[in-house]
Amino acid sequence: MMRLVVLISGRGSNLAALLSAAAAGTLPARVVGVLANCADAPGLETASAAGVPTRALDHRLFADREAFDTALAEAIDGFAPDLVVLAGFMRILGDRFVRRYAGRLINIHPSLLPAFPGLHTHRRALAEGVRVHGCTVHFVTPELDHGPIIVQAAVPVLDTDDEAALAARVLAQEHRIYPLAIRWFADGRLRLCDGRVLLASVQSDGGVLIAPQLVAV
């Protein structure tokens, strides 16, 4: 069974979606550890309630980013994960950390990247008047909210939307596509090769097609 370590900073609804998919048997993976950069992240309780070991590493107690990243990597490696999953982890990770986990570090971002990297994506989408918004799962590269795209889900932006309504519509899709992407990885169908996403899909004739990228949903 593939081993996942999930990094969070807050509420942990994406973590909860992964835990339920694993419990339901629709995700052939086990969350073996949850790490947070703040001890009061509500998602830590979700993890504990599911019997998953947790650790909080307060980034403010470290001299610099490098020192925090090193301690974080040690904590992660203690769980021996196959895949490291960023799920609302609000710290920028340094180049050395990102390279250490190249090809096995993924993130979910609440916009259709490359539009709206960074914070307040729903507010900015409304301010720009875009008609379509959504979320993206991608492999992590040193550049913030950037990296080879694995899967995206799009939602309409309605005239009646406020930030909360739009965020809720996007979040429902996040909870769908994150388990989906991780399932592909667990099934050995998804990998990063020379900076590109390779996703193998089984054809009706039983052959295997290697597509550079699949945008599902």
Please report, as ranges, the residues that interact with ligand GRF according to CB under 6 A. Answer: 8, 10-14, 43, 87-88, 108-110, 135, 171, 174
Nearer CB in complex with ligand GRF: 10/142: 10
120 included as an active-site residue = no
Least Cα distance to 52 among 12, 93, 25, 91 occurs for 12
Minimum separation from the CB atom of position 152 to ligand GRF (A): 12
Are the beta carbons of 101 and 115 closer than 8 angstroms?
no
Nearer CB in complex with ligand GRF: 110/179: 110
Residues near 113 by Cβ (< 8 Å), separated by ≥ 6?
136, 138, 145, 146, 149, 152
How far is Cα 11 from Cα 149, in angstroms, rounded to an integer?
Answer: 24
- Tally the residues of the chain: 217
User: Sign of torsion, CA 26 182 93 88?
Assistant: negative
Minimum separation from the CB atom of position 194 to ligand GRF (A): 26
Residue in the block written with tokens 């900076």: 195
Report which secondary-structure segment, H or E, holds 152: strand 149-156
Nearer CB in complex with ligand GRF: 32/177: 177
The active-site residue, picked from 109, 122, 133, 138, is 109
Nearer CB in complex with ligand GRF: 87/112: 87
Minimum separation from the CB atom of position 28 to ligand GRF (A): 21
Nearer CB in complex with ligand GRF: 75/172: 172
Q: Supply φ then ψ for residue 199, to 5 degrees.
A: -130, 120
Are the beta carbons of 126 and 140 closer than 8 angstroms?
no
Are the beta carbons of 113 and 120 closer than 8 angstroms?
no
Closest CB to ligand GRF: residue number: 88
Minimum separation from the CB atom of position 124 to ligand GRF (A): 14
Minimum separation from the CB atom of position 84 to ligand GRF (A): 14
Q: Which residues are known catalytic residues?
A: 109
